[in-house]
Structure 1
């Protein structure tokens, strides 16, 4: 396995801040260990030789027109007209005419 720098406690704190998580002092080293374990598994996957395996663009292409487990079929991806923006915005509780306005839910 390749040698990697690994996730530092500072990295854990920054990721927690970006994710708006409040980690305790006991949780930080555990999160560091878990993140480093995940990166170690990814390094192992990166060592696999996948040169003879064809790329899979979409699972839907493999299924074709077959029915799924609950009986529904995948629909064809086709271009259709979308909703009229003015009509949708006129029904919105608060809008600037172009976007929906919503209350702020995350305080920093």
Structure 2
């Protein structure tokens, strides 16, 4: 009887942990394409932070910058301060600060 109880407890624990796999900021991870231009980026995890790599063809391809997750957004340090990258859950999109202003990007599926 004890053995059966241990098995049931183990199964219950595994079921309860099933939803705990997501880390804060997972919504940002992936490939993104600008809705206004040919710009594209890929966001990946790097230990506790994130790496944003420019995947656009041309001179800036391969350029990378690091980001940190804070208060529901990714923060990027720039020469002039800190910029935030917002995630729009309803449209599965992000808004990146670019030289042209805030630019929406949609997830590449």
Determine if the TM-score, normalized by the shorter chain, exceeds 0.5. no
Task: Give the structure with the larger helix fraction.
Answer: 1
Q: Which has the higher contact order (CA 8 A, sep 6+)?
A: 2
- TM-score norm. by structure 1 comes to 0.22
- TM-score norm. by structure 2 comes to 0.21
